Structure 1
Amino acid sequence: MNKKTKKFLSYYKPYLGLFMADMFFALLASSISLIYPMIVRYITNEILVKYDISESAPIIMKLLFVMLALAAIEFLSTFFTAYKGHMMGAKMEYDMRNDIFEHFQKLSFSFYDNQKIGQLMTRITNDLFDVTELCHHGPEDIIISSIKFIGAFFILININLPLTLLVFSFIPLMLVFALFMRGRMRRAFKRNREKIADINAQIEDNLSGIRVVKSFANEAVEMSKFKEGNNKFIDSKRNSYLNMGIFHSGLTLFTALINVAVIAGGGLFIAKKIINVGDLLTFLLYVNLLVDPVKKLINFTEQFQNGMSGFSRFYEILEIEPDIVDKPDAISLNEVKGEIEFKNVAFKYNDAKEDVFRNINLKVKAGEYIALVGSSGVGKTTMCSLIPRFYEVSEGLITIDGIDIKDIKLKSLRKNIGIVQQDVYLFAGTVMDNIRYGNANATEEDVIRAAKNANAHDFIMELPEGYYTDIGQRGVKLSGGQKQRLSIARVFLKNPPILIFDEATSSLDNESEKVVQESLEKLAKNRTTFVIAHRLSTIKNAQRIIVLAEDGIKETGTHEELLAKEGVYAGLYRLAYSSQE
């Protein structure tokens, strides 16, 4: 048994009792369905032949009550399998969804750099629904089909062997047909799943950027792109439904041929007095029962292809090992001062040949306010992303208070670092929810205090419902400056000793920039702070400015010292100043 199969079966373990009960009632319901034709045969061959109406009527009434009792048991059994069986599947889906979502949280930025969010969402939703259907219906269909098929076979043998062999001579042909179609359907369903994932990714991309679409009046372009993807999806569906059509029509043909064989063979046997009319009627009833297991086989084939292709995609994600994990003996940080040192650090992306930067040697004192500048693409943001281990250094090491960050638990490391980015991400919900994201245990008073420190309290109180105003998806109801101040309030509430400001004011207008800059400087007080600046005018007050290049740090000093050097910084500053003229 391979690892994937073991993982699949492991989801049954917590619900083994419920699974066994579901199988028992499925077995009971299918067994009862085999009894009805035998009762019909008994009435036809025994009661109606050997007794007159006055004697047969009471016996038939008793059999009627027996059949009603069987119907009641069958009803309860079917209800249990339909309700409790589906609930078992839903609980297994819940466990799988928890597992994959938890695994998503463990994967690093390098994984998400190469993924489409819409496709990842498909793995959590559509794929897992099909897996659930397989978990519930798969074993149930096999049990029901097996009981009906085997039971009918032995009952029919006891009635008439030659006619039974005639009926079952069609079964090997049906199995060959089913196995042949199974392979074709598996490939078709896999293509369907891939196309659905592509469409979801495209929809997510379009709706996330709907304002850009409208600003360029490119609705027709997006519609054209979507139609292209949708046409590929319908083509893949056409292929899968063609195979399904062949499968179902093939079943209908086999069923018709079996009925023709029973009627023709049974007629000849009656003429030769080998069987009677009651036996032929029983045979015809059991032939209909034989169709049901074949339908179950079809359902199982479809469910198996859908479910296992979905589980394969689910398992693919679980098999991806996080490339940044805690060491077994990792420690937690206590009373962090915030002294940070880069020792001969180099970095390159996994699929890149060239380093983004190398030879970074930098020591930052606790509470020091430094700025990182350099040309676009030189790795300023990436360098800061190495401190909370969003990415792993390729060479060298980074320490906090003398401790290698690889020896620190990730949760503890990131708990002590606050990040304010240019592209603020706010969650759907209220202002209170978004600020409290910085500290889930914060009181309402703590949230308000953080908002005041971030110069956000006044505009929040002007909102329709104050701190309980819903701000929409990604804070769409707020301005850029307002969103930025909420993100700063969030970091105030987190209260970390180390801060990273990643071009936090570059996209704001002058008025908003001034308010946000005041908030940032208040937040940075007595904390070790890294500022990545696009506008050099915002970092004049930095205690130290680091000029970064691909081969390391080119210059370091205060604003005045670097201007006096007439080096790289002076050139960047003059270029920025002239562009503002």
Structure 2
Amino acid sequence: MRNFRVLKDFFIRNKWYYFFGIVWLLLVDILQLLVPEILRRFTDQLQANLLSASEILIYSLYIVAIGFGIALFRFLWRIFIIGTSRRLEYELRNKLFSHLLDLSTNYYTHHKTGDLMAHATNDINAVRMALGPGIVMLTDAIFITVIAIAMMVLTTDWKLTLLALIPLPFLAFTISKFGKVINKRFKAVQEAFSVLTDTVQESFSGIRVVKSFLQEDAEIKKFSKKNTLVYEKNMKLVKLYGMFFPLVHFVSAISFLIVIGYGGTLVIYGDISLGDFIAFEAYLALLVWPMMAIGWVINVLQRGSASMERLNRIFNENPEIVDAEDTKELPAMKGEISFEKVSFKYPGSNEYAIKDFSLHIASGKSIGLIGRTGSGKSTIATLLLRLYPVHEGTIEIDGHDINKIKLKSLRHQIGYVDQDSFLFSTTIAENIAFGVDEATAEEIKGVAKIAEVHDNIMDFPQGYQTYVGERGVTLSGGQKQRVSIARALIKKPKILILDDSLSAVDTDTEEKILGALKGDLRDKTSIIIAHRISTIKDCDEIIVLDEGRIVEQGTHNQLLSNQKLYYDIYQKQLLEERIAKD
């Protein structure tokens, strides 16, 4: 049970729900155990012709009353135990989701979405089953077994009871062996399901690429292969069940066979009454369910334990980036940025993304970053947001080491538009207002106009209430980028980072956006990362990166006069424009 220790607080808070749920459950079991005694007396009196019509009616009312009591208390234990297990499922899923959001960006580079989805669905459901229905069946199995056997010994015959229970040790041994194999095979099923989920998620996310490359058949084959693996793993588990439960029934049948043979002989010779025999059969029938329940409980608990072990691996993951004890708020950020000899490698890489990077950006200034692909441009933005930890060198904002600034305070005052321009499956208005608690319609329209996307939005039938679809699939690349820019602007950040966020718009639209941004950027420090020189040529200073190092630095005209890497990039882009026009 050590896998369930992470739920200790939940058990403490809900102990009375489980306690009273078990009380109601035991009352149901007690009422069920009264039925054989009623049958014993009724049969003996009926055989002796001692029953009147009114007494038969009374016995009938006893049965009805017991049935009503069983129904009432069964309802109560379901509310208390099953209801609590549903609450556990709710809290555990919230806990998992919150923990996943707390984990650092690096965690998601090594764990697939499909696998995480399987944890949030199948694994949590398996834990709920173990700590809801599993507890019910375990209580039933123990209580009914102990009381039923005691009643069989005390009220009928100990020899008959002993003979009827001979198969039980064999059953216990079988259950123990099956349980270990069930646990192993269930883990294999969960892992196969995770792979399948990830395949489906990836195929649907990349549906445009799949269709444009005519890879539907290939994706179907890939899915079929993963689906076959899930089927095969499940069939191995099903075959185990196919052997397990019939075996329990067979053992139960042996017990009944012994009772009928030996018990019938005892009745014939008058050692026990017919009522004793009927009651004994009823008690034995009550024992059949616990025998099966023990197997089912072992199965459910093994599943729950396996799933909780998988969840614990996630809960035991600690975020790489957290607020230290001496971190503080920076409520009024000015926007002065300083990089001092910063070197950084991405986890798992042997190559430096940036090396000995030093740069000072005055408050309110605009900086352009340009360079070849892989030169480290986006890494600058990533580190400034503390999405990855910096171990070599320091980054300061307003003279404060960013490691000493609370994450919420830091990220709240930085507006970031990444190159992927991710949008959520909701309305355009909600996507723009994503980073703020509240935003008026006028504020949303205002930033949309600055981002030059307002007119496009108004062309949609639903305007700002238009749903964009998964990952913004209903919008063009340029529209997604401009909505993302509006989403960053509505935060009114002191530092604005545009990471190649104008690459999907034409040069005319780009010029309009940059012109509209000039007024909004007067009191902001801006870092504009781009591949096109037209995007950054008007920045106060331009930084040219190559292999993670600064190789040039200056204004547009100064860099052109140097006739180095920046000049080469400029000439190539001029040539591309001429070819495009021709």
Which bin holds the TM-score, normalised by the shorter protein?
over 0.9
Q: 1:484·1:516 contact (CA, 8 Å) conserved in 2? A: no
Q: 1:488·1:520 contact (CA, 8 Å) conserved in 2? A: no
Q: Secondary structure at the match of 2:14?
A: helix
Which residue is 2:457 aligned to? 460
Cα distance in 1 for partners of 2:304, 2:439 equals 43
Cα deviation, 1:231-257, whole Å, max 9, x if unaligned, reads 111110111011111111111110111
1:351 offset after TM fit, Å? 1.6
Cα deviation, 1:59-93, whole Å, max 9, x if unaligned, reads 33222212211110100111222344322111111
1:112 offset after TM fit, Å? 0.8
Cα deviation, 1:137-174, whole Å, max 9, x if unaligned, reads 12221111111100111001011000000011111110
Which residue is 1:145 aligned to? 141
Which residue is 2:403 aligned to? 406
Which residue is 1:117 aligned to? 113
Which residue is 1:489 aligned to? 486
Which residue is 1:70 aligned to? 66
Residues 1:156 and 2:155 are matched in the alignment? no
Q: Secondary structure at the match of 2:415?
A: strand
1:450 offset after TM fit, Å? 2.0
Pick which of 130-139 and 188-197 moved more.
130-139
Q: Secondary structure at the match of 2:346?
A: coil
Residues 252 and 512 of structure 1: CA distance in aligned 2, closer, same or farther (over 3 Å)? farther
Which residue is 2:29 aligned to? 30
1:312 offset after TM fit, Å? 1.5
Q: Secondary structure at the match of 2:110?
A: coil
Cα deviation, 1:203-223, whole Å, max 9, x if unaligned, reads 110111111111111100000
Residues 551 and 516 of structure 1: CA distance in aligned 2, closer, same or farther (over 3 Å)? closer
Structure 2 unmatched ranges of 5 or more: none
Q: Secondary structure at the match of 1:501?
A: strand
Which residue is 1:211 aligned to? 208
Cα distance in 2 for partners of 1:576, 1:231 equals 50
Alignment of 1:148-187 (within 5 A): 148-158=144-154, 159-187=156-184
Q: 1:12·1:92 contact (CA, 8 Å) conserved in 2? A: no
Cα deviation, 1:280-322, whole Å, max 9, x if unaligned, reads 2222222211111122212212211222222222221111000
Q: 1:439·1:494 contact (CA, 8 Å) conserved in 2? A: yes
Cα deviation, 1:459-507, whole Å, max 9, x if unaligned, reads 2222212222222222222222222221111122101010111111123
Alignment of 1:186-225 (within 5 A): 186-225=183-222
Q: 1:118·1:204 contact (CA, 8 Å) conserved in 2? A: yes
Q: Secondary structure at the match of 1:500?
A: strand
Residues 461 and 53 of structure 1: CA distance in aligned 2, closer, same or farther (over 3 Å)? same
Alignment of 1:405-444 (within 5 A): 405-444=402-441
Which residue is 1:89 aligned to? 85
Cα deviation, 1:419-445, whole Å, max 9, x if unaligned, reads 112211111111221111131222222
Cα distance in 1 for partners of 2:48, 2:269 equals 22
Cα distance in 1 for partners of 2:245, 2:363 equals 73
1:110 offset after TM fit, Å? 0.6
Please report the TM-score for the alignment, with normalisation by the length of structure 2.
Answer: 0.95
Residues 555 and 511 of structure 1: CA distance in aligned 2, closer, same or farther (over 3 Å)? closer
Cα distance in 1 for partners of 2:317, 2:458 equals 46
Cα distance in 1 for partners of 2:365, 2:205 equals 38
Alignment of 1:322-471 (within 5 A): 322-471=319-468
Q: 1:475·1:483 contact (CA, 8 Å) conserved in 2? A: yes
Q: Secondary structure at the match of 1:125?
A: helix
In structure 2, what residue type is equivalent to 1:474? R
Aligned-residue identity in percent? 34
Report the RMSD for the aligned CA atoms in angstroms: 1.7
Alignment of 1:90-105 (within 5 A): 90-105=86-101
In structure 2, what residue type is equivalent to 1:128? I
Residues 1:258 and 2:255 are matched in the alignment? yes
Cα deviation, 1:13-48, whole Å, max 9, x if unaligned, reads 222222222111111111111111111111122x22
Cα distance in 2 for partners of 1:161, 1:120 equals 55
Q: 2:374·2:547 contact (CA, 8 Å) conserved in 1? A: no
Cα distance in 1 for partners of 2:435, 2:42 equals 77
Pick which of 504-513 and 401-410 moved more.
504-513
Which residue is 1:14 aligned to? 13
Cα distance in 1 for partners of 2:51, 2:334 equals 101
Residues 354 and 456 of structure 1: CA distance in aligned 2, closer, same or farther (over 3 Å)? closer
Match of 2:46 among 45, 48, 57: 48
Alignment of 1:555-566 (within 5 A): 555-566=552-563
Match of 2:285 among 279, 283, 288: 288
Residues 53 and 62 of structure 1: CA distance in aligned 2, closer, same or farther (over 3 Å)? closer
Which residue is 1:79 aligned to? 75
1:395 offset after TM fit, Å? 0.3
Cα deviation, 1:497-533, whole Å, max 9, x if unaligned, reads 1011111112334444344444444543331111111
Q: 1:357·1:549 contact (CA, 8 Å) conserved in 2? A: no
Match of 1:553 among 550, 566, 570: 550
Cα distance in 1 for partners of 2:573, 2:531 equals 9
Q: 1:485·1:519 contact (CA, 8 Å) conserved in 2? A: no
1:370 offset after TM fit, Å? 0.9
Cα distance in 1 for partners of 2:187, 2:173 equals 22
Cα distance in 2 for partners of 1:151, 1:246 equals 29
1:271 offset after TM fit, Å? 3.9
Cα distance in 2 for partners of 1:524, 1:251 equals 75
Cα distance in 2 for partners of 1:76, 1:147 equals 19
1:371 offset after TM fit, Å? 1.2
1:579 offset after TM fit, Å? 4.1
Residues 1:577 and 2:574 are matched in the alignment? yes
Q: Secondary structure at the match of 1:201?
A: helix
Cα distance in 1 for partners of 2:51, 2:119 equals 65
In structure 1, what residue type is equivalent to 2:425? A
Q: 2:18·2:80 contact (CA, 8 Å) conserved in 1? A: no
Q: Secondary structure at the match of 2:181?
A: helix
Which residue is 1:505 aligned to? 502
Q: 1:481·1:516 contact (CA, 8 Å) conserved in 2? A: no
Which residue is 1:129 aligned to? 125
Residues 1:234 and 2:231 are matched in the alignment? yes
Cα distance in 2 for partners of 1:106, 1:523 equals 32
In structure 2, what residue type is equivalent to 1:386? L
Residues 258 and 515 of structure 1: CA distance in aligned 2, closer, same or farther (over 3 Å)? farther
In structure 2, what residue type is equivalent to 1:107? L
Cα distance in 1 for partners of 2:442, 2:555 equals 39
Cα distance in 1 for partners of 2:261, 2:539 equals 98
